[in-house]
Amino acid sequence: MVIEGKKISQEIINELKKLPKPKKFFGAVLVGSDASSISFLKQKEKVAQELGIDFRLYKFPTEIKQDELRKEVLKIALHRTCGGAVVQLPLPEHINRQYVLNVIPREKDIDVLGERALGAFYAGRNMVLPPAVGVVDTILTTYNLQLTTLKVAIVGLGFLVGKPISHWLMGKCPEIYLLDQGSDLKILKQADLVITGVGKPGLIKPKMLKNNVLVIDFGYGLENGKIKGDFDATQLTTFSYTLTPGGTGPILVAKIFENFYKLNK
């Protein structure tokens, strides 16, 4: 079964339409011209238009200095009519990502990437969940799956996907396997739920998994010029899985706007 990310995303957006519309603007920062970043921002802008949200994109050149970018992000985030800000990742190599993200106030940190918002999340008291965590939560809720019955494998322990999701899962399921692309992936045969976010197309093959497993794929990479996920879904399977593109991506964007609404109640 293919998990219909676009359908789930639209359901979230439709629920947001029933709520009072935030009056403040959504600030998005783009540095450089990374194709995947531009594509993701276009998705955000499209959803903002559908919701009638004031979406403002701030573009900066790749060569911008770290301190200058930090100052610009702070200025955007602290604007009295800004309801929330995001910095589109990745940033150029010469910029310390966390140094820039940390200037976003916790109450305006839609992506939950600044240290204050992350610290509050890890302490269980942040106002919103990291969007990737929200995606997993929504998929499990949509399909009436109980974490207390699932053995979960997480492949890829990055700060956007694997790290926050693994923390959120602690204490909620009987077993968690934390793996990276260099790990022995044989343990995947034990898992009822596989969450992956490595960015290596075809890393996980159907034969590596047991029947009736659920695969939530955040991986995003290019293979022969085509966007593909970590899970190789080209073979017919008895699994439930998200496609790439069109799986977790649309839900992620919807959860970002859900966070924006929650922070602007």
Which sign does the torsion angle of CA 162, 165, 170, 176 carry?
A: negative
pLDDT for position 222: 85
Query: Is there a single domain that holds both residue 231 and residue 138?
Result: yes
Confirm whether 260 is domain-assigned.
no
Q: Yes or no: say if 150 and 193 are a contact pair by the CB < 8 Å rule.
A: yes
Query: Is there a single domain that holds both residue 136 and residue 244?
Result: yes
Q: What's the total number of domains in the chain? A: 2
Confirm whether 198 is domain-assigned.
yes
How would residue 64 be classed by pLDDT, with cut points 50, 70 and 90? very high
Q: If you count DSSP H runs as helices and E runs as strands, how many of each does the chain have, helices first? A: 8, 11
Q: Which helix (H) or strand (E) holds 226?
A: strand 226-228
Mean pLDDT in residue range 35-64: 97
Distance (Å, whole) CA 221 – CA 198? 9
Identity of residue 95: I
pLDDT digits (tens, 9 = 90+) for 196-218: 999 999 999 999 999 999 999 99
Please give the residue range of the domain that contains residue 35: 21-107
Query: Is there a single domain that holds both residue 96 and residue 151?
Result: no
| CATH classification at residue 168 | 3.40.50.720
Query: Is there a single domain that holds both residue 137 and residue 103?
Result: no
Query: Is there a single domain that holds both residue 159 and residue 222?
Result: yes
Query: Is there a single domain that holds both residue 141 and residue 193?
Result: yes
Query: Is there a single domain that holds both residue 139 and residue 93?
Result: no
Cis ω on the peptide bond leading into residue 61 (within 30° of 0)? no
Output the pTM of the full model: 0.96
Distance (Å, whole) CA 45 – CA 60? 17
